[in-house]
Amino acid sequence: IYILGIESSCDDTAAAVILNGRILSNVVASQKIHEEYGGVVPELASRAHQQNIVPVVDQALTKAGISKRQLSAVAFTRGPGLMGALLVGSSFAKSLAMGLDIPLIEVNHMQAHILAHFIEEKNQSKPNFPFIALTISGGHTQIVKVSDYFKMEIIGQTIDDAVGEAFDKSAKILGLPYPGGPLIDQYAQKGNPKAYSFTKPKVGDLDFSFSGLKTAILYFVQNNTKTNPNFIKENMEDICASIQFTIVDYLMDKLKNAVQETGIKEVAIGGGVSANSGIRNALKNAEKNLGWKTHIPKFEYCTDNAAMIAIVGELKYRQKDFSEMNVSSKARMTF
Ligand code: ATP
Ligand code: FE
């Protein structure tokens, strides 16, 4: 069974084709327009999705080497995300499913970030249930206890900003372009993580808070540039390394708490921030030092993509879990 996955929740228009757990094509059109504005502009995102969706789906089918008539179902992101952006993907998915007379399958974007681990990959083992998932992205920071494909429980989450936002807002303070997370990562790899210290916010055992960190970094930069206007430029690598170290250490603290409280030592990360080299290394070390079994997704399955939507589509297809044509998009959505 061939399944087409469509993702349009934020600023990436994506389509992928999956066959028996293997990804045949995974196409992403990242919208450049938002860079000028230093953040995603919802109205512009919707328009760009409309321009991109047909060519992106065509390309995904061509790369997979199949015609649309061979599809068994169409899976799409129902939410959470930007309403106007979601509507483009869902309307397209509905039309295609209706035109081809095949099932329509709704997918929860945050579940998809976790279930991306079930895509068949060479030399990569899949998580065993139950496992702990740390979903770290531009809009979410969650610790999820995953008992089965669709049995997930959020046991911890951020009370304010998401970790991706913390990266992006810190980058903005440092004068880096949007989205700054990957840039902080690049500079951090050449810097000293102990050069500066930022205090880690205190909230519940499994919860997160990132808004204080952003303010701390702002004051830190303001104070230092008063005496040295070139402070940022001269110390970019050390500043980025120190910010990244603080964030990764904080994420690991919470994961350790989750492992201790649940007794589950199998841990998987997902979402855009799991592309970060710091968290990837920290998890690899936890395998050696803490005896955890860890799962780190391939880079292209970390940030928004449709391969993760397609795998969820396939899992639901096997359970005949199909959606009605009147299913509505949802900006906010839990499990
Ligand atoms: P959500 O999934 O919560 O709806 P989203 O889809 O916008 O949000 P993702 O695409 O999953 O988010 O992740 C994007 C975020 O990941 C951005 O904040 C970006 O800066 C961050 N990010 C990507 N790569 C890295 C990296 N190497 N280091 C740090 N942050 C990164
Ligand atoms: Fe995402």
- Can you give the pLDDT at residue 33? 85
Q: For the CA atoms of 63, 327, 77, 158, what is the dihedral angle to 10 degrees?
A: -170
Q: Radius of gyration (Cα) for the chain, nearest Å?
A: 20
136 alpha carbon to ligand 2 midpoint, in Å? 9
Q: Does the structure show a pLDDT above 90 at 36?
A: no
Taking residues 161-175, report their average pLDDT.
97
137 alpha carbon to ligand 1 midpoint, in Å? 4
171: helix, strand or coil: helix
Bond preceding residue 177 cis, omega within 30 of 0: no
- Can you give the pLDDT at residue 279? 98
Task: Determine whether the annotation assigns residue 89 to a binding site.
Answer: no
Q: How confident is the model at residue 37 (pLDDT cuts 50, 70, 90)?
A: confident
231: helix, strand or coil: helix
Reported pTM: 0.96
ipTM score: 0.98
Rounded CA separation 213/175 (Å): 17
Indicate which atom in ligand 1 lies nearest the CA of residue 81. 4
Bond preceding residue 55 cis, omega within 30 of 0: no
**DSSP code, position 193:** T
Q: How confident is the model at residue 80 (pLDDT cuts 50, 70, 90)?
A: very high
Tokens for 314, please give them. 């396939």
Query: Cβ atoms within 10 A of the Cβ of 236, count?
Result: 19
Determine the residue of 111, 167, 245, 305 to mutate for testing ligand 1's pocket, defined as the one with the most ligand atoms within 8 A of the Cβ atom: 167
Determine the residue of 178, 213, 273, 309 to mutate for testing ligand 1's pocket, defined as the one with the most ligand atoms within 8 A of the Cβ atom: 273
Task: Determine whether the annotation assigns residue 168 to a binding site.
Answer: yes
Task: Determine whether the annotation assigns residue 84 to a binding site.
Answer: no
Q: How confident is the model at residue 207 (pLDDT cuts 50, 70, 90)?
A: very high
Name the residue among 186, 225, 164 with its Cα closest to residue 11. Answer: 164
Is residue 179 lining ligand 1, measured as CB closer than 6 Å? Answer: yes
Higher local confidence (pLDDT), 225 or 34: 225
The pLDDT mean for the chain works out to 97
Is residue 303 lining ligand 1, measured as CB closer than 6 Å? Answer: yes
Q: Does the structure show a pLDDT above 90 at 38?
A: no
Taking residues 110-136, report their average pLDDT.
96
Over residues 241-282, the pLDDT tens digits come to 999 999 999 999 999 999 999 999 999 999 999 999 999 999
Is residue 247 lining ligand 1, measured as CB closer than 6 Å? Answer: no
| Percent of the chain surpassing pLDDT 70 | 100
Q: Does the structure show a pLDDT above 90 at 230?
A: yes
298 alpha carbon to ligand 2 midpoint, in Å? 15
Task: Determine whether the annotation assigns residue 138 to a binding site.
Answer: yes
Rounded CA separation 75/90 (Å): 9
Indicate which atom in ligand 1 lies nearest the CA of residue 11. 7
273 alpha carbon to ligand 1 midpoint, in Å? 5
Taking residues 217-222, report their average pLDDT.
97
- Can you give the pLDDT at residue 39? 86
